[in-house]
Amino acid sequence: MAQLLGLTLLSAFITGVLLIPFIDFLYKMKLRRHKQKTKDPFDKPTPFFDKFHAWKEGTPFGGGILIIVVISILTLWAYGLLNVDFKIWEIIVLLFTLWGFGALGFYDDFKKLRGEKAGFFGLRLRYKFAIQWLLAFAIATILYYQLGYSFIFIKGLGLATFGILFIPLAAFIIVSFANAFNIADGLDGHAPGLLLIALIAFLAISANQLDASLGIFIAILMGSVAAFLYFNIYPARIWLGDVGSLSLGATLAVVGLLTGKIIAVVFIGGVFVLEVGSSLVQLLSKRWLGRKILPAAPFHLFLQQRGWEEPKIVMRSWIFAFFFAVVGLYIAFIR
C-alpha cells in the first residue's frame, strides 16, 4: 500500500508541475472554446446549454492529452521498476482503452477546433457511436479471451457466468460510461471529482483482491486526476476535452470490469449513470413521443435550469458520489 500511495503522490506532482506550462501551450496553440451554438444528436439547438456555458468562452481544452501521456509513461515505468506479479494483458487493455478512446476524442476535439460542421460536437453521432462500439468490443474481447473474464458476482448466486455473452455486456458498459463521463463533464470539476471518488473505491477493491497490477494503475490515475482537478475547479482554467472525457470514462468502466464486480460498478459510478440515464430518457422522448419529458437534460443541466449555481451542483454531486461509492463497496465486499 505504501508503494501505491507513493505512486499517487508522484503522479500528482508530475501532472501538477506540467499542467501550468501545458495550459500556456494550449493558449498559444489556440486550443480554446469558441463561441458557437451547440446542437443535440437530432440537430436541434440546445438553448439551455448555451445560456449557462456562454461565459466559458476562451477556456482551453485538451487537458486529457497530458493526463494520458503522464499515466502511460508512469504506468510502464512502475511496472518495470516494481517487483510485482502483474498481468501483461491487464496493462495492455488499460492502456489500449486510454489511447483508443483518447484518439477518438482527440479527433472530435480537432474537428471542433477547426469549426467544421460535422454534426454533434464535431463528429456525426452515428460514426462516433460506431467507433466507440468497435473499440469497446475489441476491449471486451481481450477481457474475455486473454484475461478469462466471463462472469459477474451476484450476492446469493456467487459468480454468475455469462460465457461469450460477457463480450456485448462489457462493451455496453464501456460505451455507456464513456458517454456518461462526457456528459457529466459539462460542469467545472464535476466529472474529474466523481472519477476520483470512484477510483478510491476501486483501489480499495483491488487491494482487497490483492491485484497489484490493477492497484498500481489506479494509484497513478488517481494522482494525475487529482492534480488536474485542482486546475479544473470552478472557474476552470482548463478542461479535459473529449480526448480526456471519453478515454477516462471508458477506462473507469474497464477498471470496474477488471475487479469482476459489475453490479458494484453501477453503484460506484451512480452519478454517471444518473447523468447518462437522464440524457437517454430525454433523447428517446424527443424521438418517440415528439416532446421532452424533462425541462432540460442531462440532470445537472436540469438543476441549472431550476436555478442551482454550478459549484453547488458539483459539490452536492460529489457528496452523492461518496454515498454511491460506499454502497458499491458494500456490495463488492459482501459474500
**For range 231-245, the mean pLDDT:** 93
Cell numbers found for residue 329: 463497496
Q: How far apart (Å, rounded) are the C-alpha atoms in residues 199 and 258?
A: 13
Q: Which residue has the higher pLDDT, 300 or 156?
A: 300
**Higher per-residue pLDDT: 296 or 187:** 187
For residue 153, give the H/E element and its range: strand 151-154
DSSP conformation letters of 192-216 = HHHHHHHHHHHHHHHHHTT-HHHHH
Average pLDDT value for residue range 39-62: 62
Whether 48 has a pLDDT exceeding 60, the answer reads: no
Structure confidence at residue 104 (pLDDT) = 93
**Smallest Cα–Cα separation from 224: which of 202, 254, 192?**
192
For the residues 12-31, what does the mean pLDDT come to? 91
Mean per-residue pLDDT of the chain:
85
CA torsion sign for 316, 318, 322, 323 is: positive
Indicate if the pLDDT at residue 43 is higher than 50. Answer: no
End-to-end CA distance of the chain, in Å? Answer: 24
**Does the reported pTM lie above 0.75?**
yes
User: Angle, nearest 10°, between helix axes 190-208 and 241-259?
Assistant: 20
Report which listed range, 33-47, 77-91, 143-157, 289-303, is most confident: 289-303
What gap in Å lies between CA 75 and CA 96, rounded to an integer? Answer: 13
